[in-house]
Structure 1
Amino acid sequence: MPEPPSGLRRPASRRAFLAAAAAGLSTALTSTLSACSTASGSASGGVTLRFSWWGNDDRAARTEQAVRLFEKEHPGVTVRTSNGEFGSYLQKLATQAAGGGVPDVVQLDYRQVSQYAGGEALLPLDDAIKDATIRTAEMDRDFLRTGTYKGGQYALPMGRGITGYAYDASVYKKAGIPTPQPSWTWEEWARTNRRIAALGLKSPDGRPFTGANDGGGNEDVFEDWLRGRGGALYKNQTELGFTEDDLAAFWSFFSKLRDEGAIAQARDSTQAISTETCPMGRGLAAADFTWDAPFPGYPALLGDDVHFAPVPTTDGRQGVYFKPSMLLGIGAHSEHPEESAQLIDFLLNDTRAGDILGFSRSTPPNRTIAARVAKTLKGPEREIYDYAQRLEKYGVDIPPTAPPRGDLAIQSGFGRAYERVMFGLATPRQGARELIDVANRELRS
C-alpha cells in the first residue's frame, strides 16, 4: 500500500465509538444506499477513487458531469460514484467508518465532522492546503473553521448556507405587515403571527390559518435565538453553551404563541418532514423557518408571492451565521490521498466545475465562482443569493467550529423533548431539564 504524502497520514487505529455509531444509526434507519452511477474500470496501473454523496436527481446529474470532466483532465484516474438519500447515506457511512471503508472522497454533514475526525476516520487536510493541492485562497477563512476539529482541518465546505423564513408576502400585506428587515426582532415576529391569526383566514381543511410554523422543536432556530443573545450551543467539545433557563425561556416563548393560536398546532408540527408536509406547505401557516438551499421549493409549490425573510433578532443582533450546507473530506484509509485531494480541489475551485455544479449545494464557497455563477441566477435562486449578500453586509458573527460528536443525538433529543412540551406532557422547564440531562450524558460519553 503506497504511503500518502506528508500531512495526509493514516491514523494507526479507529476508535470503538464508530462501531457504536453505526449500530445506533442502523436501528433508526433501515433503507440502503442506492448507487447512482459507476464509472467504467480504470486502465491498468491507473487510480480508482470512490466518491459518495447524498442529494436529489439534479445534484446527482451535475455532480456526475463535473466528475467526468475531472477524469478527462486527469488521465489514468477513474472515479466510482454513489449517491443516496440522506438518511440511508448516514447509515451507510457509519457502517463504512466502523469497518475502515470510508470512501476516498466523502460528502459530510456539518454535524458529522467531529464524529468522524475524532474517530480517526478522516485524514487531516492541513498539508494539502499548505502546499496548495487544495486551494483555499478564494474562501473565507472564518468559514473554513466549520470543517475543523481540535485545530485541524478535516473537511472543506462545499456550499455556504444560511437560515431564514419563507413567507407569503400577500398574507403579510393583507395583515398590514411591512417587509421584514434584517433588524426585526422576535417580539415583532410574535406580533406579526398574532395579526395574521387575527385575520380569521381558513386553511384548505377549514381550520384557522396561523402566522408561522412552530420552531420550538428545531435546534437550528434555538441556535439562532441563542446567538442573537450572545450565547452559543456549545462552549467546546464537551460542554453546553446554554443553561436550563435559556432553553426554558425559548420553549415558553413558542408555547405561548401556540396556545394563542398564533403559530401551528402540535399535530401539524409533528407531520412537518418536507416542504409539502410543513404547516405552510399544507396551507396552515404564512411562514416557515428554512434554509436557503431548499427555499426555492416553497415558491414552486405555493406561488411567486412567497419570499425569503431574515431570522428575527434580539435588539438588532443577528444570530444567523454562514454554515456549510455540506463538506468534503478524505477517508482515513484512502490508498490515493493525493488524487483525492485533487478531486476536492477541482470540485471546489475549477470554474468549469463551478459552472456545472451551480448552486446545487447552496452558494459555492469560492467567492469568485459564486459571483460568476450568480450572474446566471433568476427568480428564487437569485433571491437567496441576494439575501446572503444582504445579511453579510448587515453583519453576522463568525461561525462556530464543527459541533461535538454527540450533537446528532442531542439534536434528536431536542425534538423529542419539545414534542413532550407541545402535547402538554412536560412544562417548558421540565423539558429543558430533560434535554440538558441527555446532552450532558452525550457530551461526556
Structure 2
Amino acid sequence: MNLKKILLMSSLCLSMAYPTIAEGKTVNLKMSWWGGDARHKQTLEAIKLFEEKYPEIKVKPEYGGWQGWQEKVTTQIVGNTSPDVMQINWNWIDLFSRDGDGFYDLNKVKDILELDKNYSQELLDQCIVNGKLNALPVGVTGKVFYINKTTYEKAGLPVPTSFDEMIKSAKVIREKLGDDYYAFDTDAYGAILLMLYKLEQETGKPFIVDNKVAYTETEVIEAVRFYDNLVKEKVMPSLKVRAAAGFIPLDQHPGWIQGRYAGTYEWDSSAQKWQDALEAGQELVVAPYPQDFGTNKSGFNKVSMAYAIKKNTKHPEEAATLIHFLTSDPEAIKILGTSRGVPSNETAVAVLKENNQLTGLGFEANTVVKEFAGKGIHPLFEHKRLNTELRTIVENLGYEQKTVEETARDIINITNEFLAENN
C-alpha cells in the first residue's frame, strides 16, 4: 500500500473514531512527558496543531528533564493526580500496574488508536497485563551486531553472517593483522545477552516465563559453553585481556577505537556513538543476525517508551484521540520526527521515510531489530540488582573462578531467587 493510501485511510479512520463532544463544551486534558529541549519544543508544537484541528479539546502540558521524573510520576499516581496522557518507561507497567489495573485498558479505545493497522501484536503483547493493554508502544529498541567492515576488509574477509563464519574469520584476522586483533567483543552483560540469544533461537522461549527461568540446566550449560568457546577460540578477548586497558566502556576502549576489536552486540539507538568512537577511515556496518541455532527470532529487544492513559480518566476517548494524533497524524509525525526514537507506528515510519527523516546507520539498525525481534524481556530483567549479580557471575567465569557448569547453575538459581523475592 502506498503512502497516500495509508494517509487517506488514517484520516478517515480518525474522523470516524473521533469522540462526540456536545456543542459548546470543552474537554480539558493533561499530558506529561520528560526529555530535552528539542523534544519539549516539538511536542508543544504538535499539541498546538492538535488543538487547532480539535478546538473542543484543550491540552495542558507538563514536562521536564529525566532527573526526578519517575519519583514525580510515582507521587502523582499514588495521589491520583496523574495526567490523562503520560509518556512512560516500559518497565513502569510492572512498577505501577502488576495486576493490569494501574492504567486505562487501551483495548477499550482500540478503534481510535487503530491498533490492528499500525502495530504488530508481538509489540503490543509487551504492554499487556492480564489481557489489558496498559500502554501504546511509542518505539522499540534492541541489540544488533555491529561489525567494523574496514578491519574485516584488511584481513580480506566479508562481513560475517553467522557465528560459524565469525569463528573462522577470527583465525584469519589474527594471522593477517596480529594477535591483539579479535573478530568480536562484548562485556560481561553482553556475554549474558549472547547466551540468551542462543537460547531463545533454539527454544523459541524468552529467558523468563511465569516468573522463572524458562530453560533447563542442560540448555543453559550449553549456552554458557558457547560464550566460553568464543573466548577460548580467541574470537573475542577474555575479560582479563580487555580489562588491561582499565574498566572502561567498550566504545572508549583502545581496542575498539583502533579497530582491533572488530565487532560487538549493542543498542540500535547508539549506532552513531559506536561509529563516532572509531578512528578516521573506519566503517561500521550492521551485520545480519546469526541464525546458527534455529529458526526462532531472538534479537534482544524491548519497548523503549510508551503512552499510557490514567486509569480513571474522565475522558478516555479524547485522551486516545490525542495519542493517536501524536503517533499517526502526518503533520504531527513530521513535527515530532525521531524525538522519541524511530516510531513503532507503521504509518509514522512511512511518513518519515517519505519525508527523508529516517536515514543513516541508526535507522538501518532499528529496521533490522524489528525484523528479527525476539519475544522481549521480563520487566525485572534489567533491575539493577539482578543485572549486577548476573554480571558478577560471568566475571567469575571470565576470571576462571567458576566452571561452565557452575556458572549455568548460578545464572538459574540467582535469577529464580530474585524473581521469587520480587513478585
Fold agreement, TM-score > 0.5: yes
Matched, 1:241 2:219: no
1:279-318 → structure 2 map (5 Å cutoff): 280-281=256-257, 283-302=259-278, 305-315=283-293, 317=295, 318=297
Matched, 1:188 2:160: no
Q: What is the identity, as a one-letter code, of the residue corresponding to 1:295?
A: A
Which residue number corresponds to residue 330 of structure 2? 351
Tell me how far apart the structure 1 counterparts of residues 285 and 404 of structure 2 sit (CA, whole Å): 32
Matched, 1:433 2:415: no
Residue 173 of structure 1: CA displacement?
1.1
Q: What is the identity, as a one-letter code, of the residue corresponding to 1:193?
A: A
State the secondary structure of the residue aligned to 1:164: strand
Contact kept in structure 2, 1:252 and 1:428, CA below 8 Å: yes
State the secondary structure of the residue aligned to 1:307: strand
Tell me how far apart the structure 2 counterparts of residues 176 and 124 of structure 1 sit (CA, whole Å): 55
Q: What are the superposed Cα offsets for residues 18-49 of structure 1, whole Å, 9 maximum, x if unpaired?
A: xxxxxxxxxxxxxxxxxxxxxxxxxxx87352
1:60-139 → structure 2 map (5 Å cutoff): 60-75=40-55, 76-84=58-66, 93=73, 103-118=83-98, 120-129=101-110, 132-136=111-115, 137-139=117-119
Which residue number corresponds to residue 320 of structure 1? 299
Tell me how far apart the structure 1 counterparts of residues 213 and 45 of structure 2 sit (CA, whole Å): 42
State the secondary structure of the residue aligned to 1:49: strand
Residue 79 of structure 1: CA displacement?
1.2
Given candidates 203, 212, 218, the residue that maps to 1:230 is: 203
Given candidates 321, 343, 352, the residue that maps to 1:373 is: 352
Contact kept in structure 1, 2:289 and 2:299, CA below 8 Å: yes
Tell me how far apart the structure 2 counterparts of residues 79 and 255 of structure 1 sit (CA, whole Å): 51
Given candidates 339, 357, 364, the residue that maps to 1:383 is: 364
Higher helix share: 2
Contact kept in structure 1, 2:149 and 2:283, CA below 8 Å: yes
Q: What are the superposed Cα offsets for residues 273-315 of structure 1, whole Å, 9 maximum, x if unpaired?
A: 5744696357551112123222133233335611111232225
Tell me how far apart the structure 2 counterparts of residues 277 and 95 of structure 1 sit (CA, whole Å): 41
Q: TM-score, normalised by structure 1?
A: 0.73
State the secondary structure of the residue aligned to 1:425: coil
Contact kept in structure 2, 1:212 and 1:288, CA below 8 Å: yes
Percent identity between matched residues is 22
Q: Is there any run of 5+ residues in structure 1 with no aligned partner, and where?
A: 1-44, 203-207
**Distance verdict in 2 for CA 1:112–1:244, change over 3 Å:** farther
Q: What are the superposed Cα offsets for residues 87-132 of structure 1, whole Å, 9 maximum, x if unpaired?
A: x655665566566565543334444433432164322221022xx3
Tell me how far apart the structure 2 counterparts of residues 272 and 98 of structure 1 sit (CA, whole Å): 39
Count of aligned positions: 383
Matched, 1:416 2:397: no
Which residue number corresponds to residue 148 of structure 1? 128
Q: What are the superposed Cα offsets for residues 39-85 of structure 1, whole Å, 9 maximum, x if unpaired?
A: xxxxxx8735241245x665555444434433544553211112316
Contact kept in structure 2, 1:216 and 1:250, CA below 8 Å: no
Tell me how far apart the structure 2 counterparts of residues 341 and 407 of structure 1 sit (CA, whole Å): 29
Contact kept in structure 2, 1:111 and 1:407, CA below 8 Å: no
Q: Is there any run of 5+ residues in structure 2 with no aligned partner, and where?
A: 1-25
Tell me how far apart the structure 1 counterparts of residues 45 and 329 of structure 2 sit (CA, whole Å): 13
Given candidates 188, 194, 203, the residue that maps to 1:221 is: 194
Q: What is the identity, as a one-letter code, of the residue corresponding to 1:213?
A: D
Larger Rg: 2
Which residue number corresponds to residue 39 of structure 1? none
